[in-house]
């Protein structure tokens, strides 16, 4: 990936609305053919950033380069980007064909070419049959595909998608996720998608920028982001996480000796470094001793036993406080003897041999020391 | 349509639910009485326009001769032509003005905007008589010439009509504008449309029902306006409502009824059209 040229370069861009800083000194490079996701809770500035790429908002500071060209003076209708809007914004008074043809018509494309390109675009999103329909005769999923075809027919350098799946029901959303990935492979255009849904981002994107309060917290591939979050925020926002406050009491090389709230003394082996282009890449252990940090374990990395775990694993004793059944998994909540709560995900691999835990039952939980994350406070 | 609702076994068929107002006799009576009070005079007026009698007291048989008589009454026809000309002109200008005001109010934020919106609808709420007197005083003050040839002698009436009807257009179009999804505008620009192309291809088609409805309302208001016209009209410019009023001062003949009936028919047609255009389009287009 890193060899591909940069298509979108965002250079310390800031945007304020009144007293609210929506986007705060964001710098990002999005490469050619990347499926890039801007992920964050609502109000984190991801949509504002996308609208600045499209030209609907102008940055107060910093600059945006698309394909090497500074976009500062370029209005939305002259940018080599197209957008799929959250409401789809399909023109209600035009047929599907006319909707898709609109962008080519205002550009003065010859009508013969328009016909061919529109038919190709409709075929690509599997709407050839519906070309003469009006938008109000289409389902939500079909309307969205009209919006996609309408944007892609312009052959933009970058396709921007603003929460494209949020209005669809769960089944259709999953199908459209696959559809979008297929389309992106087929057309070879850089996709930038804004979403608040971590599953959407993890399953579709090559790289994800996690945003909070107008700032980018981490930029990484999905697996890297999930397994090696660089902060308490990213760790808690993506997936579920057991977080513990801890203090470094001694270090031997990369090995850390910790005093953890609710877990007692722990020794952790060396941590893999974070990927280079993320903030906080210097890695944990950079501060002076004694030094406050957080440690974290994903619930699915924790195993539950009736007996004490064999050596080499971090092991604690507690009682079941709650069990939540989710079909494919069960979440077991334990209260450790120290009073600390911890949750573990158990996969229900077989229909009949599902382990049943009674509330109040005494159990052991354990995890590999290597699955423990160390996070800067 | 939905399948008929099966009632639970044994429940009485004519049980009236708490919101079944239309099934209560006193409510039906009230509705009937209201409609009677509203429409009986108009229906009587229309019926008596076909009455074969010089006086509007006794029914003496059906005739169309008063329509014929009205048709041959040159001053009545002149008044009617004047009314139509004024209505067409003032509708065209007030529709244009109203649409521009509505788009302006939707598009821009400026200090004193809400005050402006309030002042703009004043002609709707001001008593017509005050508006009429004000208009008369205004035209007298600026020394508006009274001896122009047709159609320029209608100028002052047209201006007065524009002044009171364009706020109606603006209010109706503005109401339509509220439901406009601004992402449609962004989408058009994103696809390469200029500001003007966006307006022409996306905003105006969306507003069309509101514009047509507003225009028809303006037309209706202008056609049957009496008070303001009465105050602004010069000695030689008579409109249909003013003419009918002057005819009534001598006696209420079936000829007056016939002229009034024609005015009613035109107004009702325009109003029905306006309401149909204003109704939600989405279902109709499907």
Complete domains list, chain A, with CATH:
6-220 (3.40.50.300), 237-297 (no CATH), 299-369 (2.40.50.100)
pLDDT tens digits, B126-156: 999 999 999 999 998 988 887 777 788 888 8
What does the pLDDT read at residue B97? 95
Q: B125 CB contacts (<8 Å, ≥6 apart)?
A: none
What does the pLDDT read at residue A289? 56
What integer best gives the mean pLDDT of chain A?
85
- Residue A36: pLDDT above 90? yes
Rounded Cα gap, residues A61 and A127, in angstroms = 42
- Which residue bears the tokens 């007026």? B45
Percent of chain A scoring above 90 in pLDDT: 26
- Residue A206: pLDDT above 50? yes
Cross-chain residue pair A76–B186, CB shorter than 8 Å: yes
Mean pLDDT computed over B17-34 = 85
- Residue B174: pLDDT above 80? yes
What does the pLDDT read at residue B153? 84
| E strands present in B130-258 | none
Bridge partners, residue A333, by sequence: A322, A343
Cross-chain residue pair B286–A134, CB shorter than 8 Å: yes
Contacting residues of B for A89, CB less than 8 Å apart = 181, 183-184, 186-187
Least reliable range by pLDDT among A264-268, B68-72, B214-218: A264-268
A12 vs chain B: nearest CA distance in angstroms? 24
Mean pLDDT computed over A111-122 = 91
A56, A103, A136 member nearest B285 (Cβ)? A136
- Higher per-residue confidence, A36 vs A250: A36
Contact A61, A14 (CB under 8 A): yes
A54, A107, A134 member nearest B192 (Cβ)? A107
In the numeric block, which tokens belong to residue A207?
Answer: 């790289």
Answer whether B192 touches A (CB < 8 Å).
yes
pLDDT tens digits, B3-14: 555 555 545 556
What does the pLDDT read at residue B280? 59
Mean pLDDT computed over A261-269 = 80
Rounded Cα gap, residues A209 and A191, in angstroms = 13
Rounded Cα gap, residues B39 and B53, in angstroms = 23
- Higher per-residue confidence, B102 vs B24: B102
What does the pLDDT read at residue A277? 42
Q: Which of A222, A377, A238, A206 is nearest to A294 (CA)?
A: A377
Rounded Cα gap, residues B20 and A2, in angstroms = 70
What does the pLDDT read at residue B286? 31
pLDDT tens digits, A285-331: 455 556 788 888 888 888 888 877 677 788 888 888 888 888 888 88
- Residue A356: pLDDT above 80? no
Rounded Cα gap, residues A144 and A184, in angstroms = 15
- Residue B169: pLDDT above 90? yes
- Higher per-residue confidence, B59 vs B91: B91
What does the pLDDT read at residue A99? 93
* Phi, then psi, of A32 in degrees rounded to 5: -60, 140
A83, A91, A151 member nearest B202 (Cβ)? A91
A227 vs chain B: nearest CA distance in angstroms? 37
Contact A196, A39 (CB under 8 A): yes
What does the pLDDT read at residue B120? 85
What does the pLDDT read at residue A283? 47
pTM exceeds 0.80 for this model: no
Cross-chain residue pair B192–A78, CB shorter than 8 Å: yes
What does the pLDDT read at residue B167? 93
Q: Is the dihedral of CA A224, A230, A235, A238 positive or negative?
A: negative
Least reliable range by pLDDT among A57-71, A75-89, A145-159, B53-67: B53-67
What does the pLDDT read at residue A276? 40
Mean pLDDT computed over A171-182 = 86
């Amino acid at each position: 990936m890193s060899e591909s040229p940069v298509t979108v370069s965002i250079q310390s861009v800031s945007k304020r609305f009144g007293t609210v800083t929506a986007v705060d000194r964001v710098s990002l490079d999005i490469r050619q053919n990347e499926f890039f996701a801007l992920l964050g809770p609502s109000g984190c500035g991801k949509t504002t950033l996308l609208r600045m790429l499209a030209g609907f908002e102008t940055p107060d500071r910093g600059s945006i380069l698309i394909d090497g060209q500074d976009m500062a003076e370029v209005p939305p209708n002259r940018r080599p980007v197209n957008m799929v809007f959250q409401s789809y914004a399909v023109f209600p008074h035009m047929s599907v064909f006319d909707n898709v043809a609109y962008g080519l018509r205002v550009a003065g494309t010859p009508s013969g070419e328009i016909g061919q390109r529109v038919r190709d675009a409709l075929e690509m999103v599997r709407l050839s049959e519906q070309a003469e329909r009006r938008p109000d005769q289409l389902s939500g999923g079909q309307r969205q595909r009209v919006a996609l075809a309408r944007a892609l027919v312009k052959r933009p350098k970058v396709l921007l998608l603003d929460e494209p799946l949020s209005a669809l029901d769960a089944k259709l959303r999953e199908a459209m996720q696959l559809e979008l990935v297929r389309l992106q492979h087929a057309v070879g255009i850089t996709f930038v998608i804004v979403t608040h849904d971590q599953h959407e981002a993890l399953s579709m994107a090559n790289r994800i920028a996690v945003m909070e309060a107008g700032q980018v917290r981490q930029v990484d591939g999905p697996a890297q982001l999930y397994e090696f979050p660089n902060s308490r925020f990213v760790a808690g926002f993506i997936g579920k996480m057991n977080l513990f406050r801890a203090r470094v009491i001694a270090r031997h090389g990369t090995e850390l000796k910790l005093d953890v709230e609710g877990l007692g003394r722990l020794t952790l082996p060396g941590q893999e470094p974070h990927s280079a282009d993320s903030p906080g890449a210097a890695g944990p252990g950079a501060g002076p001793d004694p030094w406050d940090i957080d440690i974290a374990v994903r619930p699915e990395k924790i195993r539950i036993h009736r007996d004490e775990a064999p050596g080499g694993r971090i092991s604690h004793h507690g009682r079941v406080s709650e069990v939540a059944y989710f079909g494919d998994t069960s979440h077991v909540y334990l209260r450790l003897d120290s009073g600390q709560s911890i949750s573990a995900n158990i996969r229900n691999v077989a229909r009949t041999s599902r382990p049943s835990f009674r509330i109040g039952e005494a159990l052991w939980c354990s995890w590999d020391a290597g699955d423990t994350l160390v996070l800067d406070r | 349509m939905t399948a008929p609702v099966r009632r639970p076994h044994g429940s009485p068929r004519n049980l009236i639910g708490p919101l079944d107002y239309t099934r209560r006799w006193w409510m039906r009576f009230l509705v009937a009485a209201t409609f009677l009070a509203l429409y009986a005079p108009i229906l009587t007026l229309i019926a008596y326009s076909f009455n074969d009698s010089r006086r509007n007291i006794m029914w003496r048989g059906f005739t169309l001769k008063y329509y014929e008589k009205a048709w041959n009454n040159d001053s009545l026809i002149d008044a009617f032509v004047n009314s139509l000309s004024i209505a067409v002109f003032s509708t065209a200008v007030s529709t244009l003005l109203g649409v521009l005001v509505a788009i302006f109010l939707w598009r821009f934020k400026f200090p004193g905007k809400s005050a402006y919106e309030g002042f703009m609808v004043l002609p709707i709420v001001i008593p017509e008589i005050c508006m009429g007197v004000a208009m008369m005083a205004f035209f007298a003050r600026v020394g508006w010439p009274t001896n122009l040839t047709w159609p320029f002698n209608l100028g002052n009436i047209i201006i007065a009509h524009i002044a009171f009807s364009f706020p109606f257009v603006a209010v109706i179009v503005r109401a339509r504008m509220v439901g406009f999804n601004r992402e449609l505008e962004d989408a058009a620009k994103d696809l390469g449309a200029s500001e003007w192309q966006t307006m022409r291809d996306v905003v105006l088609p969306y507003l069309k029902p509101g514009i047509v409805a507003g225009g028809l309302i303006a037309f209706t208001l202008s056609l049957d306006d009496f008070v303001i016209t009465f105050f602004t009209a010069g000695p030689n410019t008579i409109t249909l409502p003013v003419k009918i009023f002057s005819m009534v001062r001598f006696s209420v003949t079936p000829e007056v009824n016939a002229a009034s009936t024609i005015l009613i028919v035109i107004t009702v047609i325009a109003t029905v059209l306006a309401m149909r255009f204003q109704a939600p389009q989405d279902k109709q287009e499907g």
